[in-house]
Chains A and B, each alone.
Chain A
Amino acid sequence: NAGVMQNPRHLVRRRGQEARLRCSPMKGHSHVYWYRQLPEEGLKFMVYLQKENIIDESGMPKERFSAEFPKEGPSILRIQQVVRGDSAAYFCASSRTSGSGLEETQYFGPGTRLLVL
């Protein structure tokens, strides 16, 4: 029973390039969440998606960042024209449903560590 999968695990980009981070949720999970973790900080919520829908993007920077979760394939977090401040660990989580009950516990992937040179 595979857990949440993320790739790549490590990504190095130069300033101005694009970064694409992928997340495949656990089997049976249709809700995906993206978080960013800066050094010495906890996880900060970015965006919550269901298949083909963005439900909540209140934590996403207004520019350069976008996310999608197509009908087929993984969820993708895309960062255009990366800057050094984008260097962080990006974690994806998935849940079976949404809300605050037992079924809605989020399970995390291994993260993608982005380094912008």
Chain B
Amino acid sequence: AQSVSQHNHHVILSEAASLELGCNYSYGGTVNLFWYVQYPGQHLQLLLKYFSGDPLVKGIKGFEAEFIKSKFSFNLRKPSVQWSDTAEYFCAGQSGGSYIPTFGRGTSLIVHP
């Protein structure tokens, strides 16, 4: 079965620290990958997405993710986090031809000043 795994459930960082959130997927064939962010009390917003091409994807707010096919990974990174990055981060995968993404459990990020 297709699945998306996020191994870090809770991450606590200080401002200016670097961030990397892990995401692994178990799809065969073509796969589309997404990272969404959910700020407290708000809806999911799309941070970035990978469909094809350059495996290093730049998103909004200084985030980026790298698609590494050999590792089935799509980790999210940011070189220097801010307090305002405190949120829940969801990785999602969608196999080619499917219209339904599968979401990971989410990673709760807390950035303290």
- Segment at the interface with B among A11-19, A41-49, A62-70: A41-49
A99 touches B97 (CB 8 A): yes
Tell me, in angstroms, the Cα distance from A35 to B100 when the chains sit together: 10
The 8 Å CB contact of B90, one of A4, A42, A45, A107, is: A42
A96 to chain B, nearest CB (A): 12
Tell me, in angstroms, the Cα distance from A8 to B96 when the chains sit together: 34
B100 touches A48 (CB 8 A): yes
The 8 Å CB contact of A42, one of B30, B43, B106, is: B106
Tell me, in angstroms, the Cα distance from A91 to B4 when the chains sit together: 19
- Asked if A110 meets B43 with Cβ closer than 8 Å, knowing A42-B105, A42-B106, A100-B30, the reply is yes
Per-residue CB contact flags for chain A residues 32-72 toward chain B (1 = under 8 Å, else 0) read: 01010000111111001000000010000000000000000
B100 touches A56 (CB 8 A): yes
- Segment at the interface with A among B12-20, B45-53, B64-72, B79-87: B45-53
Tell me, in angstroms, the Cα distance from A14 to B9 when the chains sit together: 32
Tell me, in angstroms, the Cα distance from A6 to B94 when the chains sit together: 24
Tell me, in angstroms, the Cα distance from A30 to B45 when the chains sit together: 19
A residues near B34, Cβ cutoff 8 Å: 105
A100 touches B95 (CB 8 A): yes
A42 touches B51 (CB 8 A): no
A3 to chain B, nearest CB (A): 8
User: B103 at interface (Cβ–Cβ under 8 A)?
Assistant: yes
Tell me, in angstroms, the Cα distance from A111 to B88 when the chains sit together: 15
Tell me, in angstroms, the Cα distance from A45 to B93 when the chains sit together: 13
B43 touches A98 (CB 8 A): no
A101 touches B51 (CB 8 A): yes
A residues near B100, Cβ cutoff 8 Å: 33, 45, 48, 56
B44 touches A91 (CB 8 A): yes
Could you write out 18 A-B pairs with CB less than 8 Å apart? A33-B100, A40-B106, A41-B105, A42-B104, A42-B106, A44-B103, A45-B100, A48-B100, A91-B44, A100-B32, A100-B51, A100-B96, A100-B97, A101-B51, A102-B51, A105-B46, A105-B49, A108-B36
B interface residues (Cβ-Cβ under 8 A, vs A): 4, 30, 32, 34, 36, 42-46, 49, 51, 90, 94-106
